[in-house]
Every structure is written in structure tokens, then in C-alpha cells.
């Protein structure tokens, strides 16, 4: 990390008294956080162009990712709000998301059409990545922030905040495996979805052409099914939503 990540926190009174001193500090590529009555009130940072900011944030994020550092939810949101990178926040770690491949996108497209058709005219909405969801896990202080490949929400209107961010819990989440995400999807995300109140989780495996279905009840696995070509996915939560596995991989 470079020196631009060095931060100094001062009070508003101290800033007013020593304005010149702290301007010089910022010019030397540092950052000053100004508090008022114990609360963060303003930030004084070096002037950088948009492209410089992009690389600074990317460097900071990658350092957290590969340096084994844990960050708070608040710190993640601060980094996220100043970045154009796609990223997730899981168990206190920042994960950079890569671009999906052709096979992934074909499956996502097919499933989106199937789900959108089924839920047309119903209360529930169907969304696809990139779409942030803040998952509040049972007995955990801070949420995970993830971008499921597909999700169905039935609480959109009442849980969308003034900034247009969805802050509710999806009823159905779908993840499409890739070599780089297989372990995370099968372990970390399964755990997060289960503990945060998601009703149903599908894991689509393009390589094996299978779909794993998990049904959750009271933050535990209540039902599990493995569906292969020739089978029909019989959803755990949404009655009537039967999906031929072969249609997913067309």
C-alpha cells in the first residue's frame, strides 16, 4: 500500500486552528478525517483524477483480499461506494468478482426467462447480477454483501430504501458455478443463505449439468435434492414452479 492510505483523525476545532498544517499534510498525499462531537463530519483528501482513484481503490481492495486482512462492514461500504469494481463482502473479507463466461451467461439467461415467466403478475420480482444483497446472518453482528447470479424477492417494495437499494432477504437464490467460485458457492454462500433466512437455494453446475436444491427452514437445511438431465426441479418454497433440468442447459 502507498502512503496515500495514511489517515489522520482530528477534531473540527483542531482543523480550524491548524488549517495550513493539515493542508500541507494532505498535499503530501495523506488523508485527514475531521470529527465533530465525536462523529465523522468531513474528509480532506488529495486531489486525484478518476483513473487514479480507480487504481487506488483497486490496489486497496486487492491488498485486503490477498493480505488476509479483515475489514468491517462500514469499511467495505466505504471502499465499495468509491469503486467501479464488482466485489462481495463475505465473513469480513472483500472478494473481487470476475466477468462470467459464455456458458454461465447462457444458463443465467435461460433461468431468468423461466423465472420471469413464472412470476409475471405475481408479487415477487426476479433480479440478476450485478444486484447487491445485504444478508444478515443469524447471530452475526455484520451482514455479508453478495451479488447472487439470480434471485427472487417477495419483499421488494417494503425493504427498498430511499437510495433505491434492496435491503430485504430473497426467497430464492441461484448461483451458477465456475472454477473460481465453486468452493465459495458450495460452502460460504450456502452458509450465508441458510443463516440469513433465504427459503431456497439452487446451485447450477454447468460442468456436470446438475442442479442442487436446498430448502431452508428456521436457518437449517430442511430439504436437499440433486437433479440431473431428465429430472424436473421441484422447488421447495414456490409451489407450481417446476423446471426441467434440460431447459436450463439449452
Residue 217 has pLDDT above 50, yes or no: yes
Q: Residues 6 or more apart from 20 whose CB is under 8 A from it?
A: none
The mean of the pLDDT values for the chain is: 84
pLDDT in the model for residue 219 = 92
Q: Domains in the chain, ordered, with CATH?
A: 3-96 (3.40.1620.10), 102-248 (3.90.1570.10)
| 50 pLDDT above the threshold of 90 | no
pLDDT of residue 4: 45
User: Using 50, 70 and 90 to split pLDDT, how confident is the model at 39?
Assistant: confident
Query: For residue 12, is the peptide bond before it cis, meaning its omega torsion is within 30 degrees of 0?
Result: no
Mean pLDDT across 124-135: 94
**pLDDT for 154:** 95
Residue 127, pLDDT above cutoff 70:
yes
Query: What pLDDT, on the 0 to 100 scale, is given for residue 28?
Result: 65
Q: How confident is the model at residue 99 (pLDDT cuts 50, 70, 90)?
A: confident
Mean pLDDT on 134-148: 94
Burial of 192 from C-beta contacts in 10 A (0-12 / 13-18 / 19+): buried
Asked whether the predicted pLDDT for residue 95 surpasses 80, the reply is yes
Q: Taking the mean position of all CA atoms in its chain, how far away is CA 229?
A: 30
Assess whether pLDDT exceeds 70 at residue 182.
Answer: yes
CA–CA distance, 244 with 156 (Å, rounded to integer): 28
Query: Which of 16-25, 43-52, 106-115 has the weakest average pLDDT?
Result: 43-52
Amino acid at each position: 500500500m502507498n502512503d496515500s492510505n495514511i489517515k489522520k483523525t482530528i477534531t473540527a476545532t483542531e482543523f480550524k486552528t491548524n488549517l495550513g498544517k493539515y493542508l500541507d499534510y494532505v498535499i503530501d498525499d495523506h488523508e485527514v478525517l475531521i470529527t465533530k462531537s465525536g462523529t465523522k463530519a468531513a474528509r480532506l483528501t488529495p486531489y486525484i483524477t478518476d483513473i487514479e482513484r480507480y487504481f487506488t481503490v483497486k490496489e486497496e481492495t486487492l491488498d485486503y483480499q490477498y493480505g488476509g486482512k479483515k475489514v468491517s462492514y462500514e469499511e467495505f461500504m466505504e471502499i465499495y461506494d468509491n469503486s467501479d469494481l464488482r466485489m462481495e463482502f463475505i465473513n469480513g473479507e472483500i472478494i473481487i468478482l470476475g466477468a462470467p463466461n459464455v456458458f454461465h451467461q447462457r444458463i443465467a439467461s435461460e433461468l431468468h426467462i423461466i423465472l420471469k415467466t413464472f412470476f409475471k403478475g405475481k408479487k415477487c420480482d426476479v433480479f440478476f447480477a450485478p444486484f447487491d444483497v445485504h444478508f444478515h446472518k443469524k447471530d452475526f453482528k455484520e451482514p455479508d454483501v453478495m451479488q447472487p447470479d439470480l434471485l427472487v424477492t417477495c419483499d421488494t417494495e417494503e425493504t427498498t430504501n430511499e437510495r433505491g437499494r434492496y435491503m430485504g432477504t430473497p426467497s430464492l437464490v441461484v448461483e451458477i458455478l465456475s472454477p473460481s467460485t465453486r468452493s465459495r458457492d458450495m460452502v460460504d454462500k450456502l452458509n450465508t443463505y441458510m443463516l440469513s433466512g433465504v427459503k431456497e437455494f439452487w446451485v447450477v453446475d454447468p460442468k456436470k449439468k446438475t442442479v442442487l436444491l436446498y430448502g431452508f427452514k428456521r436457518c437449517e437445511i430442511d430439504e436437499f435434492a440433486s437433479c440431473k438431465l431428465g429430472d424436473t426441479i421441484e422447488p421447495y418454497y414456490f409451489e407450481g414452479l417446476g423446471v426441467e433440468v434440460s431447459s436450463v442447459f439449452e
